[in-house]
Every structure is written in C-alpha cells, then in structure tokens.
C-alpha cells in the first residue's frame, strides 16, 4: 500500500540530508496521508519500531523496553508529529483593532520543539513573530499555537519559518508579518560534525517588514532583555 518511489540515487539523498536542503515550501505529504486513522497509524508504527529495536539487538522482553514501541508510536502520532494532521490546525481567533494600535506587535521567545526531517532528530530553539495590524489583531497565545502546529512535524527550519508567516498572513489578512527562528539542530550537534555550539537562524519578512527601517525596528526589539524574576 505504501511503496516508496524515488528517482534520486543514494548519493543525492545523502547530499540533501547532510546539507539540510528543503525540497518544498509545503510539507511533502502523499495524497493518501490520512486514509489511516490515528489508531491505525499507531499500530503500524508500533510494529515498525519493534522491528527496528529487534534489528539493533535489543531485548524487548526486558521490563524497561516492553512498552517502548507503543510509547514511541503514540508520541509520533499524538505529539511529535501531530502537526501533520490538519484537524489539529489551530483556529486563530482575530478581533477588530478597536484601540487602533498602529505599531508592530512582537511575540518573542516562543519555544520551538521540532524534528529534523532528514535524521528525525530534535530541533530546539526560539521563534520571534511580529505583525502590523491592518484592522485585525490576533490572540497572543494563537501565535504560539501556530508555531507549535507547524513545528510538530518532520521539518526543515527554512520551511517552518515560511509556514508560520504564511499562516499568520492568512489569519490576519495582511502581508505585514515577520518571523525569525534561532534553533539548534541535534543532527548537527550530536552526530556528523558534532558541533555543539552552533545554531541556525532563519527569517521570513513579508510586506512592510521587507522595508529596511521596519526590519531594523523588529530586529532591535529582539535585543531587548525581557527576563523577569
């Protein structure tokens, strides 16, 4: 039912993975991605994880490991990759800007927990999202939920940044949205080059945020120390 078809050779596949290249601005999903229920997916993934662990030589009769295949399967479907399912997409409530606030609004330090789609290792960082109202405003927590939704799927950081901006633009009916993400990729930090210090910064600027002064104002806000004790 689910045959993997690709025209790329192993060398090309490895090159894409090692260089963290994204092949699309949209998450690559098959047409039949939602034919199985979540429970059916959990059951299939459980068996696949079991096979992986057995292949690695793990003793699944051990008390600590007996439940691992099911735990991993449930975590994949219900938590780590819940953003693949459109039913989990947040409904961003917007409201009339009755107080006529005309400056940019910036939501800083939104926690990002995502997963690199090349090695299925964690991406951990912070997102900073801003917009300028054209008559509508959005609930602050909805900005966090938009970031979470698009982060909870196999991802590349560039695509995540773009998807957050596009979702905000759609919700607010304006192009004046920006997002900057600073994150560590454990596929870089814990394997391969094993550089534990490096992080990756991506940015997407829409509408007025493409203008030099507006972009600079947004980036200056990100320098503010907003730690509270």
Average pLDDT estimate for 80-109: 94
For the chain, the farthest-separated pair of C-alpha atoms sits apart, in whole angstroms, at: 64
User: What is the DSSP annotation of 119-170?
Assistant: T--EEEEEEEEEEE-SSEEE-HHHHHHHHHHHHSSEE-HHHHHHHHHHHHHH
pLDDT digits (tens, 9 = 90+) for 169-198: 999 999 999 999 999 999 999 998 888 889
Give the pLDDT score at 93. Answer: 86
**What values do phi and psi take at 181, rounded to 5?**
-125, 130
Catalytic residue among 107, 117, 148, 204: 117
Give the pLDDT score at 225. Answer: 84
Residue 2 resides in a domain: no
Residue 116 annotated as catalytic = yes
Residue ending a domain, choose from 71, 88, 105: 88
Residue 19 has pLDDT above 80, yes or no: no
Strands 104-116 and 154-155: parallel
Residue 119 annotated as catalytic = yes
Which tokens in the block code for residue 88?
């989990």
Is residue 114 domain-shared with residue 194, that is, in the same domain? yes
Residue 228 resides in a domain: no
Question: Could you list the residue range(s) of the whole structural domain that residue 119 is in?
Answer: 94-221
Residue 100 has pLDDT above 70, yes or no: yes
Strands 154-155 and 94-96: unpaired
Is residue 50 domain-shared with residue 105, that is, in the same domain? no
Residue 226 resides in a domain: no
Which tokens in the block code for residue 129?
């999202």
Is residue 131 domain-shared with residue 80, that is, in the same domain? no
Residue 187 annotated as catalytic = yes
Q: Residue 194 — left, alpha, or beta (φ > 0 → left; ψ -120 to 50 → alpha)? A: left
Residues 3 and 6: their CA atoms lie apart, in Å, by 10
Q: pTM here?
A: 0.89
Catalytic residue among 46, 155, 157, 163: 157
Residue 27 has pLDDT above 80, yes or no: yes
> What percentage of the chain reaches a pLDDT higher than 90?
81
Give the pLDDT score at 164. Answer: 98
Give me the CATH number covering residue 159. 3.30.1130.10
Give the pLDDT score at 5. Answer: 55
Residue 66 has pLDDT above 70, yes or no: yes
Give the pLDDT score at 1. Answer: 44
Is residue 147 domain-shared with residue 77, that is, in the same domain? no
Residue ending a domain, choose from 73, 88, 103: 88
Catalytic residue among 46, 107, 119, 148: 119
Average pLDDT of the residues of the chain: 92
Give the pLDDT score at 25. Answer: 82
Residue ending a domain, choose from 88, 113, 136: 88
Give me the CATH number covering residue 76. 1.10.286.10
Residue 5 resides in a domain: no
Is residue 84 domain-shared with residue 99, that is, in the same domain? no
Catalytic residue among 46, 128, 187, 204: 187
**What values do phi and psi take at 66, rounded to 5?**
-55, -40
Residue 48 has pLDDT above 50, yes or no: yes
Q: What total number of domains does the chain contain?
A: 2
Residue 103 annotated as catalytic = no
Give the pLDDT score at 220. Answer: 97
Is residue 109 domain-shared with residue 59, that is, in the same domain? no
**DSSP structural state of residue 76:** I
Is 166 within 8 Å of 193 (Cβ atoms)?
no
> What percentage of the chain reaches a pLDDT higher than 70?
88
Q: How many CB atoms lie within 10 A of CB 166?
A: 18
Catalytic residue among 107, 148, 179, 185: 185
pLDDT class for 226, splitting at 50, 70, 90? confident
pLDDT digits (tens, 9 = 90+) for 110-158: 999 999 999 999 999 999 999 999 999 999 999 999 999 999 999 999 9
Catalytic residue among 46, 116, 128, 166: 116
């Amino acid at each position: 039912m689910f045959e993997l078809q690709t025209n790329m050779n192993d060398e090309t596949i490895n090159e894409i993975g090692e260089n963290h290249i994204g092949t699309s601005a949209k998450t690559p999903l098959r047409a039949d991605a939602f034919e199985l229920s979540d429970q059916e997916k959990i059951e299939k993934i459980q068996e696949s994880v079991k096979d992986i662990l057995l292949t690695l030589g793990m003793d699944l009769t051990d008390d600590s490991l007996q439940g691992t295949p099911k735990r991993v399967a449930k975590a994949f479907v219900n938590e780590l990759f819940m953003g693949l399912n459109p039913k989990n997409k947040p409904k961003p409530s917007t409201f009339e800007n009755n107080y006529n606030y005309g400056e940019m609004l910036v939501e800083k330090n939104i926690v990002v927990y995502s997963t690199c789609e090349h090695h299925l290792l964690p991406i951990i960082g912070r997102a900073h999202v801003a917009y300028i109202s054209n008559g509508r405003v959005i609930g602050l927590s909805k900005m966090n939920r938009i970031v979470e939704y698009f982060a909870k799927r196999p991802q590349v950081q560039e695509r995540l940044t773009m998807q957050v901006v596009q979702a905000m633009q759609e919700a607010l009916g304006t192009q004046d949205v920006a997002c900057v993400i600073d994150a560590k990729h454990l596929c870089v930090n814990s394997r391969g080059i094993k550089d534990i210090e490096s992080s990756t910064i991506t940015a997407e600027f829409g509408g007025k945020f493409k203008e030099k002064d507006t972009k600079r104002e947004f980036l200056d806000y990100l320098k503010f120390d907003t730690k509270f004790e």
